[in-house]
């Protein structure tokens, strides 16, 4: 049976270890664990000893004011408070009344955590629960149409008189043998208990552990703990850290979640440690940080700010459960993430971690606890990273674990060394009108789907849906859609092939189209593309063309600034969703064009199209029979940011007008 339970059936023989009259049969070097067990063997079973929950101390309040008291409205007010679950019979106007909170019932310790203030005239009341996991607050009036009520919840903390307490008026005394033995079982030594002035409080034959909170050696508050791990504190005392004097003037400090963890840290050699007084919240608040005077749940931080201001490195060693992590985040929000570090508790088994410092000390020892603190990591700051956060990704890239690190082949041998498709990149495609830009992108999508199963979102404003479907089906089935002159003698696709093709269209492409007469904005397009990525697993997005989008901008913004901002949005979308984006942009009017492919800097709008893209491609079709075959298409790769995926150069493909396919020039004619 653990010593802490054995204590329940032992007579109370109080022999404080602080006393010089302690039994001489034990040397000063005897361990607390051995000492506690020896005392346990020596005790008889005459009377019962147990931990107790100290009855709430008398409430120290301001003197009540009878002047102006309206007994009629006070009666109405008390009735309203009763309906809210408060015991209004013990409430005195003009005073702070400490009640059991009807929302949380004082938690497991059933402490009177609700502070209720009734105005002097009995016409209004305001209240707040000071348990960190509750925080219920509110106010009410006796008469709804009464005069203005100027009170605020802040006065519950601002106006409250702090009690002056001493060890004598709290009736604290040194720890008995049984409690020393209990701490020894948790590997907390007598030396640590003595230095931290851990005491006890007695009521008859019952005792509770008393953790004394001190500032500059003076007793400021006291927190109690019983056998069932229930806690309660002295009311109307200042909220400060436990062990506050230990961090005075320290540049490195450690913050833990409980007094036992603070003591455990000292066993590992860390005295520069404090514990929060109120435990952890259930979750991180979604609200903005309140002003200092309204930050009631974390008032202890502001009460100790002169100690914290000197610290340049703060290690948050809160519990590993969700409330503990929420506490770490709330502390980091207030202390500044840039100077915070966090610990990772060791694994207990395959699925669990040790919960806190004292648990690590008990099961793994002080050396492991010391190692945990020394290996604390920088507290994460959103948007600020270290390369070690990406080592797994870098290793996978080096070993080509995924297989597409060099990009995906376009399906044309002529382009393999020049342009490969990398997820998360932006490719700008341009070319003079009727050069085959959109047809080439359609053919590229068909190849990527056939080889790698990619799906695509299409924002193609220049194509009617039925016309776009025909072009894609002809490339996929490799037959003309109609029996028409463009098809020559080639047999059109059958009804069965059409039905199969329709199913392929449905499974492969998702259309982004504006149903009304308005032009879509780039934000609207990207929002729908995001939905397509998350809902349908889309890997590629085509926006064709740029000039069909709505480009309204502030009068103070130039087109160059607008294009830069727009392309930044597109690139962020591509990178965040690992989605390759093809953006078609027409060149400006070429007054002196002589038939050659245009330059990427000829794109209408801004040079940012070539400056900000990952890949820049010009699609150019030969129109002069004397210069070469008119079915020859030149793919000019003018920019490749990622040298692993390609390089600058030209490739030539053959265009099949019947089916809309693009093929390598040396491909056998039977496949054309």
100-115 pLDDT per residue, tens: 888 888 877 777 888 8
The pLDDT value recorded for residue 671 is: 47
Q: Which residue do the tokens 């087109």 mark?
A: 559
The reported pLDDT for the residue numbered 106 is 80
Higher local confidence (pLDDT), 410 or 403 = 410
C-alpha pair distances (Å), 670 with each of 27, 332, 630:
101, 69, 19
How many Å apart are CA 173 and CA 165, to the nearest integer? 14
Q: What is the pLDDT of residues 27-37, one digit of tens each?
A: 434 444 444 44
The first and second tokens of residue 538, run together, are: 């889309």
At 468, is the pLDDT very low, low, confident or very high (cuts 50, 70, 90)?
very high
503, containing H or E segment: helix 495-508
Mean pLDDT across 481-496: 92
Please tell me whether residue 655 adopts helix, strand or coil conformation.
Answer: strand
The total of other beta-carbon atoms located within 10 Å of residue 219's CB is: 20
Secondary structure tally for the chain: helices H, strands E:
19, 24
Does residue 159 have a pLDDT over 50?
no
pLDDT digits (tens, 9 = 90+) for 259-272: 999 999 999 999 99
* pLDDT, tens only, 281-335: 999 998 899 888 888 889 999 999 999 998 999 999 999 999 999 999 999 999 9
How far apart, in whole angstroms, are the C-alpha atoms of residue 206 and residue 287?
Answer: 43
Tokens 């602080």 -> residue: 18
Q: In whole angstroms, what is the distance from residue 378 CA to residue 115 CA?
A: 39
Q: Three-state SS for 314?
A: strand
E strands, 54-153, in order: 96-99, 114-118, 124-129, 137-141
The region of weakest confidence among 21-30, 234-243, 248-257, 592-601 is 21-30
Please report, rounded to a whole number, the percentage of residues in the chain having pLDDT higher than 70: 85
Is the predicted pLDDT of residue 670 greater than 70, yes or no? no
Sorted by where each begins, the domain ranges of the chain are: 74-141, 168-378, 413-625
Q: Which of 27-41, 198-212, 493-507 has the lowest mean pLDDT?
A: 27-41
CA nearest neighbour of 130 among 159, 99, 108, 152:
99
Mean of pLDDT values over 482-495: 92
413-625: CATH number = 3.40.50.300
For 14-61, where are the alpha helices, taking DSSP H only? 32-42
Percent of the chain with pLDDT over 90: 56
SS (H, E, C) 632-653: EEEEEEEEECCCCCECCEEEEE
The token duo for 543 is: 């926006």
Across 228-246, average pLDDT: 90
Most confident of 1-10, 95-104, 527-536: 527-536
Residues 238, 130: Cα–Cα separation, whole Å: 12
Looking at domain 168-378, its CATH class is alpha beta
Residue 428 pLDDT > 60:
yes
pLDDT (average), residues 462-490: 93
Mind giving me the DSSP string for 577-641? Answer: HT-EEEEE-PBPP-TT--SSPPPGGGBSS-THHHHH-SEEEEEEE---TTTS-TTEEEEEEEEES
**Do residues 39 and 177 lie in contact, with contact meaning Cβ atoms separated by under 8 Å?**
yes
Classify burial at 591, counting beta carbons within 10 Å of its beta carbon; exposed 0-12, middle 13-18, buried 19 or more: exposed
How is the beta sheet containing 615-621 ordered, strand by strand?
509-511, 456-460, 540-544, 580-584, 426-430, 615-621, 632-640, 649-656, 661-664
Which positions ≥6 away from 16 have C-beta within 8 Å?
Answer: 22, 173, 174, 175, 176
Q: Enumerate residues 6+ apart whose C-beta is below 8 A from 163.
A: 60, 234, 235, 236, 237
* Alpha-carbon distances, residue 584 vs 468, 590, 600 (angstroms): 16, 17, 12
Residue keyed to tokens 């990149």: 425
> Residue 54: what pLDDT?
45
pLDDT above 80 for 81: yes
| CB of 42 closer than 8 Å to CB of 15 | no
Q: Which two tokens stand for residue 504?
A: 């392929």
User: Given the structure tokens 């050699």, which residue do they identify?
Assistant: 269
**Residue 346 and residue 367 in contact, taking contact as beta carbons nearer than 8 Å:** no
pLDDT, greater one: 646 or 202: 646
Q: Which of 74-78, 205-209, 213-217, 604-608 has the lowest mean pLDDT?
A: 604-608
Mean pLDDT of the chain: 84
Q: Rounded to an integer, what distance in angstroms lies between the CA atom of residue 157 and that of residue 135? A: 13
Provide the pLDDT for residue 78. 85
The pTM for the full model equals 0.60
Give the least confident one: 127-136, 258-267, 438-447, 538-547: 127-136
Same fold, 168-378 and 413-625: no
Residue 152 CA to residue 159 CA, distance in Å, equals 11
């Amino acid at each position: 049976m653990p010593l802490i339970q054995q204590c329940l059936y032992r007579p109370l023989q109080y022999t404080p270890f602080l006393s010089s009259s302690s039994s001489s049969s034990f040397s000063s070097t005897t361990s607390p664990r051995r000492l506690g067990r020896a005392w346990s063997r020596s005790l008889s079973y005459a009377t019962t000893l147990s931990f107790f929950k100290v009855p709430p101390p008398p409430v120290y309040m301001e003197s009540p004011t009878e002047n102006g008291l309206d007994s009629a409205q006070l009666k109405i007010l008390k009735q309203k408070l009763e309906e809210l679950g408060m015991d209004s019979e013990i409430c005195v106007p003009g005073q702070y009344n400490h009640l059991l909170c009807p929302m949380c019932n004082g938690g497991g310790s059933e402490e009177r955590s609700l502070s209720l203030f009734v105005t002097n005239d009995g016409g209004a009341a305001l209240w707040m629960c000071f348990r960190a996991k509750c925080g219920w607050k509110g106010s009410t009036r006796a008469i709804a149409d009464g005069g203005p009520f100027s009170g605020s919840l802040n006065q519950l903390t601002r106006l409250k008189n702090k009690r002056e307490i001493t060890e004598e008026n709290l009736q604290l005394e040194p720890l008995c043998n049984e409690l020393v033995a209990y701490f020894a079982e948790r590997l907390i030594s007598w030396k640590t208990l003595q230095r931290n002035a851990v005491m006890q409080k007695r009521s008859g034959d019952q005792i509770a552990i008393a953790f004394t909170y001190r500032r500059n050696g003076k007793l400021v508050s006291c927190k109690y703990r019983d056998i069932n791990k229930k806690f309660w504190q002295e009311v109307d005392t200042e909220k400060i850290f436990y062990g506050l004097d230990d961090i005075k003037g320290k540049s490195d400090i450690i913050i833990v979640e409980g007094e036992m963890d603070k003591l455990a840290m000292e066993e590992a050699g860390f005295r520069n440690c404090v514990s929060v007084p109120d435990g952890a919240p259930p979750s991180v608040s979604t609200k903005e940080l309140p002003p200092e005077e309204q930050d009631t749940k974390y008032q202890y931080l502001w009460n100790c700010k002169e100690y914290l201001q000197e610290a340049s490195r703060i290690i948050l060693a809160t519990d590993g459960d969700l409330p503990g992590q929420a506490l770490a985040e709330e502390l980091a929000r207030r202390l500044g993430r840039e100077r915070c570090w966090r610990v990772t508790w060791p694994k207990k088994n395959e699925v669990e971690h040790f919960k806190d410092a004292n648990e690590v000390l008990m099961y793994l020892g002080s050396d492991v606890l010391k190692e945990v603190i020394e290996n604390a990591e920088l507290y994460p700051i959103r948007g600020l990273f270290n390369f070690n956060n990406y080592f797994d990704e870098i290793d996978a890239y080096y070993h080509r674990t995924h297989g597409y690190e060099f990009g995906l082949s376009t399906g044309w041998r002529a382009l393999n060394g020049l342009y490969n498709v990398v997820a998360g990149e932006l490719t700008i495609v341009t070319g003079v009108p009727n050069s085959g830009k959109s047809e080439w992108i359609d053919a590229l999508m068909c190849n990527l789907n056939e080889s790698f199963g990619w799906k695509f979102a299409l924002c193609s404003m220049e194509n009617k849906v039925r016309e776009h479907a025909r072009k894609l089906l002809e490339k996929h089935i490799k037959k003309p859609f109609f029996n028409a002159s463009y098809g020559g003698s080639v047999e059109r696709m059958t009804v069965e092939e059409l039905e199969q093709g329709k199913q392929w269209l449905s499974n492969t492409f998702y259309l982004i189209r504006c149903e009304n007469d308005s032009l879509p904005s780039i934000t609207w397009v990207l929002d729908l593309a995001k939905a397509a990525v998350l809902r349908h697993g889309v890997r590629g997005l085509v926006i064709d063309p740029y000039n069909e989008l709505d480009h309204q901008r502030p009068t103070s913004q130039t087109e160059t600034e607008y294009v830069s901002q727009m392309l930044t949005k597109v690139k962020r979308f591509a990178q965040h969703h690992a989605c390759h984006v093809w953006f078609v942009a027409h060149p400006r009017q070429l007054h002196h064009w002589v038939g050659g492919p245009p330059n990427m800097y000829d794109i209408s709008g801004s040079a940012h199209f070539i400056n900000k893209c990952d890949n820049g491609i010009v699609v150019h079709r030969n129109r002069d029979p004397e210069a070469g075959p008119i079915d020859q298409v030149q793919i000019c790769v003018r920019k490749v940011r990622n040298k692993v995926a390609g390089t600058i150069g030209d490739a030539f493909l053959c265009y099949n007008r019947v089916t809309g396919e693009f093929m390598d020039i040396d491909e056998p004619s039977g496949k054309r």
